[in-house]
Structure 1
């Protein structure tokens, strides 16, 4: 009998292991699409795996600690995997060949928040970081062409920056400042829930100047803006986490574009209850019309119109959190802390399992990258 393992329990109890390399070489032609995710196992090992769209394991690299999300460098076979807060490492890997390119360490007084994005030319990496002594969010700027040297630091114009994206002009960053103050000496404890004020900040990627800052209504100041997905037309789709009272249902999906305020997509009350106050990630399909938002605590993946915010449907996936476009309208890859990696078509409502590693005690971590 195989016992289901909850991702949070498994990964929280895992211990950091020495950095090592374990690769299963790819066979045949290079796949068109590859999915990359951090993960952990019942033996306490952390790793990052690359899986082809046919389910083949292309590479498996051990991490020095728990990872979170990853970013693909344009024009290169490089992916950067960042540590989960309050980790201080980022690992540059080749997911196709399975090699480690470089390890990056956070600057003194800083730690990573787990997300980053590259400039369109692949030269600069922008990573959300915590200046924890000051209690302010910053964006570390790394020169990938110079061995990922940290060349600059920009303000995030908020507290607790998490996910960020670069808009279509290649000059504006949009940053989800979650509003939650933390300090590595306090582990993962949230220090300011009563006074937190999340915001969505538009930041000049060159100067760090604040171009625009948007907030939620005052009675929703404990609704943390955490994750996002952005269309080619710069429609910003948000996945939110409620740190407020649990006796009040609040929307967990938001939309924002240009200078317009953030609008919240309510969806059916029953679905909102199932989401249990927590959206774990967001992704758009290849066409940009369908938004997937995961709710791992409720075992639910939800689907929405990226333009109007209308609710389109849902899929039950125990501890499902990682999301990535899988090719075509409404098609997504979904990973779960229970060891499954699957493809789901939100239009036909059909699913297929790419990998099922439950018997090995594998827990896919929160995010999934398609490259």
Structure 2
């Protein structure tokens, strides 16, 4: 629930925390996999009579939409597009489990990436769900699940693993010729997970998680004792390393995994801790230009609520609030960008996907138990969204906001 108390070190925060949100914890974080399947099956039975999909004509009044990978009760892997109030617009089958997605500027086109260690990427029309082009990572590479486009929509920069050489790289794809792979840039560390392009249209910022993996080892992490995460600023044209930001030595097991940027290039950072389970470490930070990464002070209760794992990061439309999800802890946390302090948290079991909803402080959040929730971190208002016409799904880790 949102805390009614003012977080330590945040005496200037003005968010109203008087309203309680215990009713927002609709699912227990202790729900088992069997319970989750049962939930999807029961939900499917209850809504079967409603049909499958909202007519696309509704988009005339619904321009802001959201894309997420997901899976249905039969284990089918999908990508779905929903409106801002949670109604289903389109569903696209995926060859394997998806992860993140990127919008191509100037086109009605989205690319969804495979989850590590998957190798597929699929471009599609988010309104019709028509597949436009599938392309795969190069030999000896796999995707990490995230990418970013150049402002003109031509170049796609995708986070990849050169796994035989334990080297992170950025694949560069030309969308105008069927996403042909034209170049490769160094990520300048191991494990590039998420990537954003800054407002200059030339500088890439890469969250290098620092964790070595190999497809032959499945999802096992191979270098936890020696991992060195980084936040790398890279020239998109030359591949040159512009700035390299590292955490203090005692924080080297905090994997920098997810990032989000404001319009003026403040970077929000969300991390996953691979050290001893009894350690309480800050996992949310901010960074700007050449300055070091700042980790806002947090009380012990807030740190415990993260369960050493942040699953996603997003900035609100105004650039005032960073949302960092903590699915293992069953919370979405909110942080002031200007004051760099914790504003409060929304309880949402297995809540991981988060994206700006359009209004200042507003976010759409999704969960692995099929929930979609709109929450405003500035007003404290929360709305659960349901579409009785849509078959239930388990939402995957990330939401992409787009305007059609």
- TM superposition score category, shorter chain reference: over 0.9
**Could you tell me how far 1:269 is from its partner in structure 2?**
1.4
Number of residues of Structure 1 aligned to a counterpart in Structure 2: 358
Distance 1:257 1:145 in 2: 33
Q: Please state how far the C-alpha of 1:361 moved relative to its aligned partner.
A: 5.4
| Aligned match for 2:300, one of 252, 269, 272 | 269
> Residue in 2 aligned with 1:189?
220
Name the structure 1 match of 2:3: none
Does 2:286 match 1:259? Answer: no
Match of 1:37 in 2: 68
CA distance in 2, matches of 1:238, 1:319: 20
Counterpart Cα distance in 2 of 1:151 and 1:127: 12
Q: CA deviation at 1:268?
A: 2.2
Give the aligned partner of residue 335 of structure 1.
Answer: 366
8 Å contact from structure 1 (residues 160, 181) kept in 2? yes
* Bigger relative contact order (CA 8 A; separation at least 6): 2
Is 1:164 aligned with 2:195? yes
1:312-327 equivalent positions in 2, closer than 5 A: 312-327=343-358
Report if the CA contact (8 A) 2:370-2:395 is conserved: yes
1:155 pairs with 2:198: no
- Give, in whole Å, the separation in 2 of the partners of 1:217 and 1:121: 37
- Alignment of 1:306 with 2:326, yes or no, is no
3-state DSSP of counterpart to 1:311: strand
- Mapped to 2, the partners of 1:288 and 1:267 lie a distance apart of 21
1:216-236 Cα shifts (integer Å, max 9, x gaps): 000111000000011111111
- Report the alpha carbon displacement of residue 5 of structure 1 after superposing the two structures with TM: 6.0
Give 1:41 deviation, angstroms: 2.1
List per-residue Cα deviations over 1:277-323 (Å, max 9, x = no partner): 00110111110001111000000011001133211111100000000
Larger radius of gyration: 2
1:327 Cα shift?
A: 1.2
Structure 1 contact 5–337 (Cα < 8 Å) conserved:
no
The match for 1:119 among 145, 150, 158 is 150
* Contact kept? 1:86, 1:188, Cα under 8 Å: yes
| Cα offset, 1:356, TM superposition | 6.2
How far 1:25 sits from its partner (Å)? 4.5
Measure, in 2, the Cα distance between the counterparts of 1:301 and 1:318. 9
- 1:234-279 Cα distance to aligned partner (Å, 9 max, x none): 1111001100111110001011111111111232210110110001
Query: What is the TM-score with the length of structure 1 in the denominator?
Result: 0.93
Match for 1:344 among 375, 380, 389?
Answer: 375
Q: Which has the higher strand share?
A: 1
**Rounded Cα–Cα distance in structure 2 between residues aligned with 1:25 and 1:118:** 29
Cross-structure match for 1:52: 83
Using the alignment, how far apart are the partners of 1:127 and 1:25 within structure 2?
33
Q: Deviations over 1:97-117 (max 9, x none)?
A: 121101011100000000000
Corresponding position of 1:83 = 114
Instruction: Report if aligned partners of 2:257, 2:272 keep a CA contact under 8 Å in 1.
Output: yes
List gaps (5 residues or longer) in structure 2: 1-26, 38-51
| Paired position in structure 2 for 1:26 | 56
CA distance in 2: counterparts of 1:162 and 1:29, whole angstroms = 32
User: Structure 1 residue runs of 4+, over 4 Å off?
Assistant: 2-7, 22-25
Structure 2 length as normaliser, TM-score?
A: 0.85
Residues 1:37 and 1:29: Cα distance change in structure 2 (over 3 Å): closer
| SS of residue paired to 1:264 | coil
Partner of 1:27: helix, strand, or coil?
helix
Structure 1: distance between partners of 2:66 and 2:118:
23
Question: How far apart, in 1, do the equivalents of 2:33 and 2:241 lie?
Answer: 40
- Match among 381, 389, 393 for residue 362 of structure 1: 393
